[in-house]
Each structure stands twice: as structure tokens, then as C-alpha cells.
Amino acid sequence: MKFRFDAGCSTFVAIEFYMSPITLVIHGGAGTILKSLLTPELETRYKSGLQAALNRGYAVLENGRTALDAVEAAVFELENNPLFNAAKGAVFTHTGEHEMDASIMEGLTLDAGAVAGVKSVKNPIHLARKIMEQSGHVMLSGDGALEFAQQQGLDIAPSDYFHDDFRYAQWQEIKHSDQYQLDHSDKDPIHREKKFGTVGAVALDQFGNVAAATSTGGMTNKKYGRVGDTPLIGSGTYANNQTCAISCTGHGEYFIRAVVAYDISCLMEYKGFTLQQAMDRVILDKLVKLGGEGGAIGVAPNGDFSLTFNSDGMYRGVRNQTGLNQVAIYGND
């Protein structure tokens, strides 16, 4: 409750106002993630990484800042964790480099920023937000995106910052072939899962605004500057205060063709679906019929949230004002 002084009658008038239930949902990739394929130690590390991202993003919301700030903070934390295929944990391309994609979107204004195929930028999610707020454009790519990042004073990291022994071993297995592979290795008994390596977050702040952010290192041994759904507004990321905020993870080509994030929003806006109904229709029905595997997270302005996937598992977490604070990996968690 807040108060307003009414000069006409010399009294204070109480004005009721509603504060939205702050909510943060995150993901760290989806796919064939089975308990039998993860050691207890590795499972603990994944869950700790997810919890750290939840804590960072939720603290932003608790401090009264925006959903946009929260999703950027949560994804920043995941980008800094080499367990996840984004930024520091990005996989190797066919040429032995790291090409990263990211996007961010604000539901209040529908402003968005995205970057595709950028190298050397320590945290692509920061670059995506700078593009949204400072460039006059929605998407930048490649060398131009790097030049803009440098002009904006963002942290630029040397190539060895992105080197990870496990990612390097993945690349070594197939670098002399024409194959590309998702974030997995069939020869490693611990990491044998088929995992779509993307990180993302969606949030609802106390002001009733939603936002979404997504970041990825793409596919191991990818060629030709391949770009997936992550930086494409409407496919891998979307936010609209009238409906929801969505961040996706999966085989990007299918998510692009299905325009997954925007389709979920459209079902809510034009068909009157609830968030969960829309997620189920797109992720569990439409996407499956196309042959697409993966998942998505979403939050609506009323506080409803969803973590929906058609794969065996999805690294995920949710925290909200009711006291819920949970991270999970497998389909039966």
C-alpha cells in the first residue's frame, strides 16, 4: 500500500497497488540426460552451478531491480561455468575457435538485442544487451559484433580463456570429418548424453514485467558460420508483457522452423491458452511432429511458470516468492 496527499480535502488517501510475485526460471540445456550417465560428483556440480545462477538472478529481483537485469545476471553466471556450453564452456568449431550466440528481450517494450557468431567476448549476454540499448539495431554478427563490443568496453578474453579439456577432446574426435555434433561425446562414459548445450533464463519482476535471455556456444565442429535459434528473436527467445517470456534449448534448426518461442506467446495471445497449455502444444506436440528435441522455460505476468521438455532431461531451476527454490536434471525429478 502507498499513500497520496489529496490537497483538495487536506487528507491522505490510501491507494492499493499490486506487486507481482517475483519469479526466476533457468535452464542449462536439454537432451538425453540420464542418471546412469552422470557420476554423483558431476551431478552435484551441475546442480551447484544451477543454484548459483538462481541465487544471482533472484537476488537482483529481491533488490527491486528489473526482470531484464535478473535474466542477464543469471545467464552471466551460467556463461562463467565451463560445465555449460556458453561463453567459457563454449564448444570448438571446425577451425578450432569459439563462435558464440546470445539474445535478450524485454517484455514491456519488446526491445531486443542479439549477437551471432561472435568470438573473444567474455560474456555474450552483456553484448546482447548493449546491442539492444546502444547500437540502434537488434542483431550484430561476427567481426562487426566484436568491434562493437570493444567500442562498448566489454571484456575481451584471449582464446585460452575458452579452452576446456573436455570440449577440446570432443572436437578432436571429429575435427577431421564433415560431422558436427551436439554438446556430447559418445565415447565418454560420463558425458555420453546427447545434450543441447544452451543456457537461458526468464523472469518476472515486482513491476509485472517479464524478460528472457539465452546464450550458447553452438555445435561442436560446426562449419560455415552456422547459427542456431538462440540469437533469433521469436525462435529461441521471446518476451511480451501481454503473454510470457520464453527461452529455448534444443536442436536449433527445428526451433527455427517452428518459431517456438513466439508460437507459445501467440497461442496465449490469440487462442487464450494458459502458459502451460501453450508450452505443451508447442514442445510436446508440434515440435515432436517435426522431429525436434529439446525444451523451453517460460514465465507469465501472473507468476505462472513452466519448464517443459520432450527429451529425457533438462538442466533447470526455479525460484519464486512463495519460497520455491528447486533445481533438477532428469525427467522424473
CA distance 262 to 242: 12
**Cell numbers placing 178:** 564433415
Q: Does the annotation count 198 as an active-site position?
A: yes
d(CA 16, CA 250): 43
The active-site residue, picked from 23, 66, 93, 198, is 198
Q: Are 175 and 96 in contact (CB under 8 A)?
A: yes
CA atoms within 13 A on the CB side of 251: 18
Sign of the alpha-carbon torsion through 72, 74, 77, 83: negative
Q: Give exposure, 15-48, as e/b (b: 16+ Cβ within 10 Å).
A: eeeeebebbbbbbbbbbbbeeebbeeeeeeebee
Residue type at 35?
K
Catalytic residue positions, numbered: 198
